[in-house]
């Protein structure tokens, strides 16, 4: 008889109340995969959209990331008992994700870390810092001294990007829709903070153009973000905080300046040959967090049996930081 485990399942689409605890088969790792005993996992907006039936790809057991202990590794890529981060690799999309006691993920999407951080704090790191680092340095090619605009800077990815960009010597302007968080962003190193709004160009006197723009709001401000990017600069869209509605009647000939580059990044490609996890200095990032150089503590930590409260907080868009569930 096969072993079972407890998992949180999406049996039908809807609000947080649809999530159910069920006994399901415990996964078995194949060659090239790692079986992880999950200690904690971050909760992501993509999982909210999956729960609602709004995402292009989903699995009844969702969850895009986790931290935990290697339980099995047939290919020998990681020793049994290693402390690891697991992120993407189809988790919660094309294969069962981290909303369980165990998960399997491709070895290419697993990173071993040495750390004294508690599990719940380590769980706030994988997806947001992997996405933020890839966005800033792999795609935008951010350089010291460049002017960077981060739209949606109090989101989890936004805060991670602000930490990384300031550390790299960029000159960062940040936006947030909540003025009470202006001071927090300035303490994190932003040289200027503006209220996030659809006419941001007016707030910037209509003259500001940035070397690089990281747009985490999404399609709603896509065209305007292109307009805030200097010729030969880059605008990267890597978030959809403003919703998933498409841009209507977009006419690049009229609405884009020559030489402006429009780029896209989606974290589901993490661990592929184009975006290998080995290219992200997660161990260095963990060390900086341990040393207090970056503040990456989760804003809310929920117990395993309190997933409904975690998703209610997620739906509210008021968390102001990372939500984590701990076993």
| Residue 308 in this model has a pLDDT that exceeds 90 | yes
Write out the residue range of the structural domain in which residue 233 sits. 128-265
- pLDDT per residue as tens digits for the range 151-186: 999 999 999 999 999 999 999 999 998 888 999 999
| Residue 233 in this model has a pLDDT that exceeds 80 | yes
DSSP per-residue string spanning 257-296 = -TT-EEEE--GGGTTSSSS-GGGS-HHHHHHHHHTTSS--
Same domain, 166 and 250: yes
- pLDDT per residue as tens digits for the range 238-293: 988 877 788 888 888 888 888 999 999 988 899 999 999 999 999 999 999 999 99
Backbone phi and psi for residue 316, each to the nearest 5 degrees, phi listed first = -70, -20
Same domain, 38 and 103: yes
Same domain, 133 and 260: yes
| Residue 2 in this model has a pLDDT that exceeds 80 | no
Same domain, 152 and 258: yes
Residue 208 lies in a domain: yes
Q: What is the pLDDT of residue 258?
A: 87
Same domain, 142 and 250: yes
| Residue 205 in this model has a pLDDT that exceeds 90 | no
Same domain, 184 and 302: no
Same domain, 97 and 139: no
Can you give the C-alpha Rg of the chain in angstroms?
Answer: 20
Backbone phi and psi for residue 184, each to the nearest 5 degrees, phi listed first = -60, -45
Q: What is the mean pLDDT of residues 301-312?
A: 97
Same domain, 115 and 136: no
What is the reported pTM?
Answer: 0.92
Q: What is the mean pLDDT of residues 206-210?
A: 72
Structure tokens at 217: 């709001």
| Residue 1 in this model has a pLDDT that exceeds 50 | no
When divided into structural domains, the chain yields a total of: 2
């Amino acid at each position: 008889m096969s072993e079972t485990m407890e998992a949180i399942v999406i049996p039908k689409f809807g609000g947080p109340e649809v999530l159910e605890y069920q006994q399901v088969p415990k996964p078995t790792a194949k060659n090239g995969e790692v079986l992880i005993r999950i200690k904690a996992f971050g909760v992501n907006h993509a999982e909210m959209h999956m729960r609602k039936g709004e995402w292009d790809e989903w699995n009844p057991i969702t969850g895009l990331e986790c931290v935990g202990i290697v339980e099995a590794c047939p290919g020998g890529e990681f020793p049994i008992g290693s402390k690891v981060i697991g992120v993407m690799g189809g988790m919660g999309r094309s294969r069962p994700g981290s909303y369980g006691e165990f998960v399997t993920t491709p070895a290419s999407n697993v990173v071993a870390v040495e750390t004294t951080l508690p599990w719940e704090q380590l769980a706030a790191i994988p997806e947001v810092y992997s996405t933020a680092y890839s966005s800033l340095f792999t795609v935008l090619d951010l350089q010291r001294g460049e002017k960077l605009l981060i739209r949606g800077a109090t989101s989890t990815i936004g805060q991670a990007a602000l930490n990384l960009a300031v550390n790299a010597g960029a000159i960062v302007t940040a936006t947030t829709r909540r003025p009470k968080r202006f001071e927090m962003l300035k303490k994190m190193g932003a040289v200027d903070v503006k209220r996030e709004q659809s006419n941001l160009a007016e707030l910037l006197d209509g003259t500001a153009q940035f070397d690089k723009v990281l747009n985490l709001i999404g399609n709603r401000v896509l065209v305007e973000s292109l307009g805030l990017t200097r010729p030969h600069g880059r605008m990267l869209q890597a978030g959809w905080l403003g919703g998933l509605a498409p841009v209507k009647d977009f006419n690049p000939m009229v609405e884009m300046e020559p030489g402006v580059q429009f780029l896209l990044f989606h974290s589901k490609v993490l661990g592929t040959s184009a975006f290998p996890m080995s290219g992200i200095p997660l161990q260095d990032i963990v060390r900086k967090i341990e040393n207090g150089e970056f503040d990456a503590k989760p804003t809310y930590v929920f117990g395993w049996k309190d997933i409904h409260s975690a998703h209610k907080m997620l739906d509210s868009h008021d968390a102001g930081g990372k939500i984590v569930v701990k076993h």
